[in-house]
Structure 1
Amino acid sequence: MPLLGGFIADAYAGRFLMILLSSSIYVAGLTILTMTQFIPPLKPCGVSDNNCINPTKIHKLAFFTAMYFLSVGTGGHKPSLESFGADQFDDNDSSERKGKMSYFNYWNVALCAGLVLGVTVMAYVQDNFGWGTANLILTVSMFLTTVIFFLGRPFYRYRAPQGSPLTPLVQVLVAAVRKRNLPYPSNQDSFYESENTNMRLLSHTNKLRFLDKACIIENEVVSEGEKPSPWKLSTITKVEETKLVVKVVPIWFVSLLFGVCIAQGGTFYVKQSSTMNRNINGFEIPPASIHAIAAFGMLLCIICYDKILVPILRRVTGKERGIPILQRVGIGMVFSIMGMVVAALVEKKRLMVAEREYNRVLSMSVFWLTPQYFIQGIGDAFTLVGLQEYFYEQVPDSMRSIGIALYSSVLGVANFYSSFLIIVVGRVTGRFGSSWFGKDINSSRLDKFYWLLAIMSAVNFGIYILLTRKYDYKNVQRKEVVSSK
């Protein structure tokens, strides 16, 4: 769904319109969920209902309509809003370009703040005041933020949609295949480039040279003012944009396993916390609230990285970013491996306590999970933010919403991948003894599963290094603008 939303935003609707439309759909979904808690005919059965009957058609219609509205709204909102925010910075202005690098950091600071509120305040409201009250708060909050966003429309910068961003990619492939038998030229004088000064031109790179044949001027003469057929002759910029898309694909695949590790934080980690001692001076922490530790770790790491580490790295390396994007992503992958190792050791300890005590709630404090959550937060600060910046920057300018959608799809597909991996591992281990996933968490061996993820992540990291060792980033022919600020 995010990929479809990103494509529509880039190709036809425009990001501002897509944000408004998807936000409205999202509010509608929240409104329906809220109505199911307060309107008697729509209200589902409660645990204490004596005359509870099976869900009726109206119950199912309301629930699934709300779910589909929320899915469609999220699919359009996520990729469009983040890319629209980054579009407010001018890439040709050095100070604004540096500001955009910080934008992705503080975008995630805001997400962390929202996550903390969600797993603490909203979890408390749901447990003590009911889902209806929580849904009402979320509906009103989302409605107000949509109105505030709309009121700011006179101050935004806009990028007009220019049709399908996939068509130029197909044109390059067709032109390259047509000219596949041409000899590769000894210099770039035979390469065609557009004279359009309104678009950002890309410099030629020597990777994927087969695609370069699409921009070789063969027998045709490109007259002044005459535009050749893009199915026969492409520009250097279009060829380089196609190369960017091709190079994004393997990075997307090697990022999936990092997403699998993240998925454990919202599933098995929470299940572990539900069996542990969560009392603090008589107050019981909701199991999901422990996830806030990862958000705090990510928030703290992002601020230190942006305010302390980046300025130092800029002075040392002389580069605007301090370190390359993919190097930042790789650092986070290392922390993810460390997090899985720590999680395995802590789970082994928890199983030893569970074997001794036989209680539903163990004496072992839930804060034993702090190290693995905190390390996960640090890894997220490097890898998740780095992937957002990578998928926005290293795709063609006309595909930036699609790029952010690709980032979102990493996490979405990783959750399916995690479920598939659990099923496979459970069946395989069950054939050679007891399954690693028993009827409850205390009869399972999650520690072994975490070790497996750590080993798989280490192998995946080795592949990642091979893919990124000599990576060619987007090379824009910049026209620097002096900032007036």
Structure 2
Amino acid sequence: MYGTATVSGEVESPLLNNYVDGVVDYKRRPVLRSKSGCWRSAYFIIGVEVAERFAYYGVSSNLITYLTGPLGQSTATAAENVNAWSGTASLLPLIGAFVADAFLGRYLTIIIASLLYILALALLAFSTLLPFDCENAIGGSSCSPQLQVIVFFVSLYLVAFAQGGHKPCVQAFGADQFDADDPEEHKAKSSFFNWWYFGLCAGPTVGIFVLSYIQDNLSWGLGFGIPCIIMCFALIIFLFGTITYRFDEQTQEKNAFARIGHVFVTAARNWRVEPVTISAQEEVSGIMPYQGSQQFRFLNKALISPDGSSEYGTVCRTDEVEEAKAVLRLIPIWVSCLGYGIVFAQTSTLFTKQGATMDRSIGSTFEIPAATLQCFIGLSIIILIPIYDTILVPLTRSVTNIPSGITMLQRTGTGIFISILSMIVAAIVEAKRLKVAREYGLLDDPSAMIPMKVWWLLPQYLLAGTGDVFAIVGMQEFFYDQMPSDLRSIGLALYLSTLGIGSFLSSFIISVVEKTTGGNDQDGWIADNLNQGHIDYFYYLLAGISAGSFVMFIYAAKSYVYNRYSSKCYDTIHRCNMM
């Protein structure tokens, strides 16, 4: 539209070249590159996400302590509830992204989700003020002993619902501020995902450290109320940046869901069409003979008319069929990342319960909350992201000639491998903790403090953070980059759903392990008294599951072909494999 070239190859006008093609401002006007988007907009968007993650982790990081403490649930039940909630929170972005991409748009969805977030956090703080013990409550018989539980879980899942609309849209909207067709903005866009995750971890690190102390030592109501105030400021910050944002021009005649759905329906309708007819129609349609089109050739049946002839013309366009193939190609990668999601779920549940049994004292008077150790995941990420972006990327870029240094799948695979190591280390440390408990005769005392410093858990937390630098950022960029442009909120929701399904699978595995290793009045691997359990065996089991997932990932990645519209591939036939 703007800055196009003439027949001779010369740019029509320097002024026109300053406009960004395909985007408009908040008043639907063409936007100047020098006054919109890029980092000037990204700072506002990263800021609102830092606040949102501060609020979310301020609730989730110490949730298991609240469930096993004030609400009186068992360790296994609390772990299952935390996994179920975090899994739901990671799956709901699929709904939020669908609403944004199909109806409301990312900007409006972010605003509505933020308002819902504020309401949910206010209710969560209010629920802690309700009487739980009716015998000691004012009014006694007039109160409901389950009222606090009901209001708490309703508001908790309302938080999950709100972040489901907030999280995928904010990140996609942030990445939309960079023009992949501009060389400088293209490099900045790759760095955006790194610095996005940097900010994503800075907020939780502060939130976990500050809020977990407030919740454990001062007030749960205050600990849940502060995130509500922070989200109010975050919404104001986001609105301040409106005049700088770039918005998609929305030139497609029908949305991506309709286009891709039409491809699958038409292909299914033509399932009896002979291969010879398909080949002839492919030639007419102009499909290029690159590897991407050779995958899922059954979808090419959508290119021909229902009766199998070509006289009526094609039913679906070539680019629509390729979009459908692009989405289908993501499924094997998505499935193979689920093992990482299972490991990811342990840091806020069993890792925290381990730390609660250990010596957490600093000096003679101060004792850190067990959930505070999750800060070290964020700290490791905060340290490693700048090193990765400023040192590792330029070094590897000089060898691979890839702007991001290594491919997105190579980065993700590295993170999955590190997750295996983190589970092995966690198992070794837990075996050491049990040995100390046995030596001091503390196996039968669930409330005893094991004379072993909590810093023994640091390696597994640091490895978890290192794995996130590779796997999480790799998945974010991959699922965003490989989706059609008007489905990129869905792409980021797919990445989040790997963590959500992983949490559900973790909950399922815990339930199975509890039933198969316990019974007959015997404690299983995951017992209320961790000293009588064997979480180390459970960690070894997860290491094995993650190793199987890694093998599946390698196989899927070796055969994966990056989309031809991907900005990460530069060779003439648009192929860019992991290996």
TM-score (norm 2): 0.74
| Contact 2:131-2:137 within 8 A present in 1 as well | no
Q: Does 1:190 align with 2:284?
A: yes
- CA deviations 1:347-378 (Å, max 9, x no partner) are 10000001122161011000000111101110
Matches within 5 A, 1:221-300: 233-282=315-364, 283-300=366-383
Instruction: Calculate the aligned-residue CA RMSD, in Å.
Output: 2.6
Deviates more, 1:176-185 or 1:402-411: 176-185
Shift of 1:151: 1.9
SS in 1 for 2:236: helix
SS in 2 for 1:185: helix
Deviates more, 1:3-12 or 1:435-444: 435-444
Q: Which amino acid aligns with 1:293?
A: F
Give the alignment partner of residue 526 of structure 2, picking from 437, 442, 445. 437
CA distance in 1, matches of 2:370, 2:471: 26
Shift of 1:32: 2.5
CA distance in 2, matches of 1:416, 1:477: 32
Q: Which amino acid aligns with 2:120?
A: G
State the partner residue of 1:111.
200
State the partner residue of 2:212.
123
SS in 1 for 2:263: helix
Structure 1, unpaired ranges of 5+: 194-201, 223-227, 479-485
State the partner residue of 2:113.
22
Deviates more, 1:373-382 or 1:243-252: 243-252
State the partner residue of 2:502.
414
- CA deviations 1:377-419 (Å, max 9, x no partner) are 1011100111111111111212111111111111112111101
Quickly say closer, same or farther: Cα 1:110–1:48, change in 2 above 3 A.
farther
Q: Which amino acid aligns with 2:386?
A: I
Matches within 5 A, 1:349-388: 349-357=432-440, 358=442, 360-388=448-476
| Contact 2:132-2:147 within 8 A present in 1 as well | no
SS in 1 for 2:256: coil
- CA deviations 1:106-130 (Å, max 9, x no partner) are 1111111111112111111222331
- CA deviations 1:120-170 (Å, max 9, x no partner) are 111112223312222332111100110110121111011256654322122
CA distance in 2, matches of 1:431, 1:388: 42
CA distance in 2, matches of 1:475, 1:313: 23
Q: Which amino acid aligns with 1:12?
A: F
Matches within 5 A, 1:29-108: 29-36=120-127, 43-45=130-132, 49=136, 51=138, 55=144, 59=148, 62-108=151-197
SS in 2 for 1:469: helix
| Contact 1:14-1:159 within 8 A present in 2 as well | no
| Contact 1:192-1:234 within 8 A present in 2 as well | no
Identity %: 38
CA distance in 1, matches of 2:299, 2:408: 25
Q: Does 1:5 align with 2:96?
A: yes
| Contact 2:525-2:535 within 8 A present in 1 as well | yes
Quickly say closer, same or farther: Cα 1:101–1:439, change in 2 above 3 A.
same
Give the alignment partner of residue 145 of structure 1, picking from 216, 231, 234. 234
SS in 2 for 1:205: helix
CA distance in 2, matches of 1:45, 1:214: 60
Q: Which amino acid aligns with 1:420?
A: F
State the partner residue of 2:551.
462
Structure 2, unpaired ranges of 5+: 1-91, 568-579
State the partner residue of 2:404.
321
CA distance in 2, matches of 1:281, 1:113: 26
Quickly say closer, same or farther: Cα 1:380–1:30, change in 2 above 3 A.
same
CA distance in 1, matches of 2:348, 2:155: 22
State the partner residue of 1:207.
295
Q: Which amino acid aligns with 2:223?
A: A
| Contact 1:299-1:381 within 8 A present in 2 as well | no
| Contact 1:391-1:403 within 8 A present in 2 as well | yes
SS in 1 for 2:502: helix
Give the alignment partner of residue 175 of structure 1, picking from 246, 266, 282. 266
CA distance in 2, matches of 1:111, 1:304: 16
Q: Which amino acid aligns with 1:9?
A: A
| Contact 1:203-1:475 within 8 A present in 2 as well | no
